[in-house]
Amino acid sequence: MDSSSLKVLAGDRISPTIALKRCIDEEIAKLTSDESSAIDARLFVPCYSNKQEYVLGPIFREAPAQLPALYPPCSVTPETSSMLLSGTSSFEWHEAKFIRKIVREVLCKLKYAILNVAVHPVGIDSRVEHINLMLSIGSDDIRMIGIYGLGGIGKTTLAKVVYNHIFLQFEGSCFLANVSEFAGQFNGLVQLQEQLLFELLGIKNLKIGSVDRGMNLIKERLHSKRVLIVLDDLDQLNQLNSLAGNRDWFGPQSRIIITTRDQHLLKELKVHERYMAEELNHTESLQLFSWHAFRKTNPLENYTDIANDIVRYAGGLPLALEVLGSYLSGRNMIEWISALDKLQQIPHNEIQKKLRISFDSLDDDKMKGIFLDIACFFIGTNKDYVITILNGCGFCAEIEISVLISRCLLRINEENELTNP
């Protein structure tokens, strides 16, 4: 950085247009000349002053804490909590929007993509904090963690928000969505390998040819690179083996995040930490439902009781709350009552379709049969008693119930009773 830039950083007051252009152009030119350089410590913050001039604050790794959570990468971490704006005593909303525009422009020019997340990420902050602790960013080991839970519980949303928070701290990052779906297509794993190498290395029009060659290329090209990889919705061990089979494929401080419906798969993968995505509590559920149904955080006064009934029906499942809230938005009370009556008889098709994925992935018809028997007759019943009954009917109940639990289709409570997830 030249002396003129240092003067700017020291607090010289300059024209807003010149300040913005000079800083962005200088940093973009510097960064694009060295593709391997990290950009997290390279952004400038223009600060609004009482004289309607701009003072350029210090270089920062992440935006300050006052930026709204609507822009996840701007959330502050413990390492950056003290890196606040200089030259201003307050941080107004219009300033936050202005700074966000600058950050987005820089990221756009550098071809870094912010992942789209839920418009109303209710209850996400505490869960993201938990995942960040598991990731232990900054430690030299190559760490792999897993997020598991029922379909529609918010695993992918959680992984996206975590990714947006931390991806600037790595030399390369890649979010591979719907891995199981793509892997099931013709040459699907090869295409996923090509996408991984393209996003991490920028290699265009790469044709790998076979899964084995792709595995070798990943190892050769990434073994010294600090990367962040998210593999979303894995359901088979060979998917991970093809994309991130060994920790030594990547450089020190790399992080790999996996989402899956199958807890047992994470045990096979020997991940460092496992996080079970949990349902929203009633307060969070009502808030999320209200955002979609009423465009505000609480239900309209005369809708409070029926809104609470629908929230209880949804059972803390974010997908169900969003779908039902949007479905009922703008409808009158008579329609709400009719909809609730219908839901208690027939689940909403979009919710049922998402949840059915977990059921359809069960290994065989016998496994599906035992699940339906338990769901219809044995919820709330002692597990040992259920095993005795089912074994007497020709099932291998111990292993089958264990599989249903690992797939997040059943739970066992403190009284050793089978319950819905």
Please state which of the ranges 31-35, 151-155, 168-172, 364-368 shows the lowest mean pLDDT. 31-35
Residue 279 tokens, joined: 């349902």
Across 235-244, 300-309, 342-351, least confident range: 342-351
Q: Which of 26, 273, 278, 417 is catalytic?
A: 26
Mapping DSSP onto H, E and C, the string for the chain reads CCHHHHHHHCCCCECHHHHHHHHHHHHHHHHHCCCCCCCCCCECCEEECCCCCEEECCCECCCCCCCCCCCHHHCCCHHHCCCCCCCCCCCCHHHHHHHHHHHHHHHHHCCCCCCCCCCCCCCHHHHHHHHHHHHCCCCCCCEEEEEECCCCCCHHHHHHHHHHHHHHHCCEEEEECCHHHHHCCCCHHHHHHHHHHHHHHCCCCCCCCCHHHHHHHHHHHHCCCCEEEEEEEECCHHHHHHHHCCHHHCCCCCEEEEEECCHHHHHHHCCCEEEECCCCCHHHHHHHHHHHHHCCCCCCHHHHHHHHHHHHHHCCCHHHHHHHHHHHCCCCHHHHHHHHHHHHHCCCHHHHHHHHHHHHCCCCHHHHHHHHHHHHHHCCCEHHHHHHHHHHCCCCHHHHHHHHHHCCCCEECCCCEEECC
- Rounded average pLDDT over 225-252: 92
- Identity of residue 57: G
Q: Structure pTM?
A: 0.69
The better pLDDT of the pair 41, 190 is held by 190
pLDDT for the residue numbered 142: 93
> How confident is the model at residue 5, as a pLDDT?
44
- For 47-68, what is each residue's pLDDT tens digit? 333 333 333 333 333 344 433 3
Residue 232: alpha-carbon gap to chain centroid = 9
Mean pLDDT across the chain, nearest whole number?
Answer: 77
| pLDDT tens column, 369-417 | 888 888 888 888 999 998 998 888 888 888 888 888 888 788 888 888 8
Amino acid identity of residue 89, one-letter, is S
* Contact yes or no for 262/135 (Cβ under 8 A): no
Active site residue 278: no
Residue that wins the pLDDT comparison between 106 and 245:
245
- Give dist(CA 310, CA 305) in Å, integer: 9
More confident residue, 169 or 77: 169
- For the cut 90, the answer to whether the pLDDT of residue 102 exceeds it is no
pLDDT, residue 4, reads: 46
pLDDT (mean) for 25-38: 44
pLDDT digits 0-9 by tens, 243-285: 998 888 999 999 999 999 998 888 888 888 999 998 899 999 9
Residue 24 has pLDDT above 60, yes or no: no
